[in-house]
Amino acid sequence: MLEKYFVHPDTLNGIRNCWLGEEIDKYVEWLVEQGYGPGAIYRRVPVVKRFGEFAWAEGARSFGDLPEQVESFVSHWMAERDSGQNAERTRKFRNEVRGPVEQLLSLVLPDFVRRGRQPLGIPDPFVTQAPDFFAYLRDERGLRESSIKQYRHFLLRLKAYLKRIQVATLSGLSPTVLSAFVTESTRELSPNTISGFCSSVRIFLRYLHRERLVVDDLAPTIETPRKYRLSEVPRSISWDDVGRMLEVVDQRTAMGKRDYVILLLLVTYGLRSREVAALTLDDIDWERERILVPERKAGHCTAYPLSRSVGEALLSYLTEVRSKSPERRVFLRTYAPRKPLTRVTISNRATHYLRKAGIQVRRPGSHTLRHTCVQRLIDAEFSLKAIGDYIGHSSPRSTETYSKVAVETLREVALGDGESLL
């Protein structure tokens, strides 16, 4: 959602690299659903981003630490910008700062209560028509708050849709309305999200029928769109495109040196973004010239030989760029606060360089480079079993997805035979 309003790469990456980046993205989505215009979004997002940076600098390390930082942040903001305005204007200005922060916290923390107000009213959609649904999720289904947040998110989407088509009550739900809602929503959601979205709506509808809040059981009308595993060739790029992507990385800068290593790890070993983000200094065995990737999806560890190109780039980053920090994670932000990069940031860096190089690919990101690694292995005629072991697939079926896709040995791939390619 952020990219619809912030198109400059530096601005977009700055927001997403903030430790509240994912929550800010959801906040923007909520603002849109509530009818806020672009101007309001442009005013609010810088405030909540700055709040996240301020709270981190003050020692906040979890969402639960944020509420106690609100007043300090507002005072800090006012001290920097208030230049002797009259009392009424100062009060209004304070509210303009506090408002976006408290809106964000109401989304992040279900129990957060805005100063001087009742709760925002958004955490529990349909609270007047189905008041006990979220208690049902907690008490009867035993769901964690993280799962319940997803229900809120999806049902907020349903609530906004019903408001837009002027369906005032849940009794106005029908197969036609629900079918149109699912069709519209699934166009906007990622394939991995659609299944959870449909499941959440079905459970809500079953609850409504069980509690006799609606006459008919409408849950069967919510059908998850079928996704055929072999219907698409995974998105990948040519090895020439890999070279083009690497060439646009400015290795003269601190960020460029760091990102160059990240890209090499993704495309050489086919790592997932979360695996790159989780790498620690202890996972690099310089003596044995290998990289250990622990806790893979399959539940095992993989030790890769450390290629010359990856090793040299990694050494350059660690000795010339990475700050002296007690943090053991390899990849840190290049500016304060120097916290570890998230999997989202890792994927965003890949997206950034693919676009900068002008490489056209559907949904570019870290998985583009993972797919590219797999394609090289397939082109070299390795078995799907060997490829699956190499990239950490938990099931042979996962690797079958690549079998439609039309370097010399696993070791040669890892060691970068022909260093000119890397």
Name residue 91's amino acid.
Answer: R
Per the residue annotation, which of 274, 297, 333, 356 is the catalytic one?
297
In the annotation, is 367 catalytic? yes
Per the residue annotation, which of 26, 44, 322, 393 is the catalytic one?
393
In the annotation, is 229 catalytic? no
Per the residue annotation, which of 202, 272, 296, 352 is the catalytic one?
272
Side-chain half-sphere exposure of 236, counting CA atoms within 13 A: 24
- CA–CA separation, 38 and 28 (whole Å): 10
Listed as own residue / partner, the contacts of 376-385 with beta carbons closer than 8 Å and 24 or more positions apart are 376/239, 376/407, 376/413, 377/410, 377/413, 378/402, 378/403, 378/405, 378/406, 379/406, 379/407, 380/407, 380/408, 380/409, 380/413, 382/410
* Alpha helices, DSSP H, located in 132-225: 133-139, 145-164, 175-188, 191-210
Task: Supply the DSSP symbol for 4.
Answer: G
Per the residue annotation, which of 27, 161, 390, 402 is the catalytic one?
402
> Buried (b) or exposed (e) across 145-166, using 16+ Cβ within 10 A?
eeebbebbbbbbbbbebbeeee
- CA–CA separation, 243 and 259 (whole Å): 14
Per the residue annotation, which of 157, 296, 349, 370 is the catalytic one?
370
Give the count of beta carbons closer than 10 Å to the beta carbon of residue 374.
24
Distance of CA 281 to the CA centre of its chain: 24
In the annotation, is 272 catalytic? yes
Per the residue annotation, which of 367, 371, 376, 390 is the catalytic one?
367
In the annotation, is 317 catalytic? no
In the annotation, is 402 catalytic? yes
| Residues classed as catalytic | 272, 297, 367, 370, 393, 402
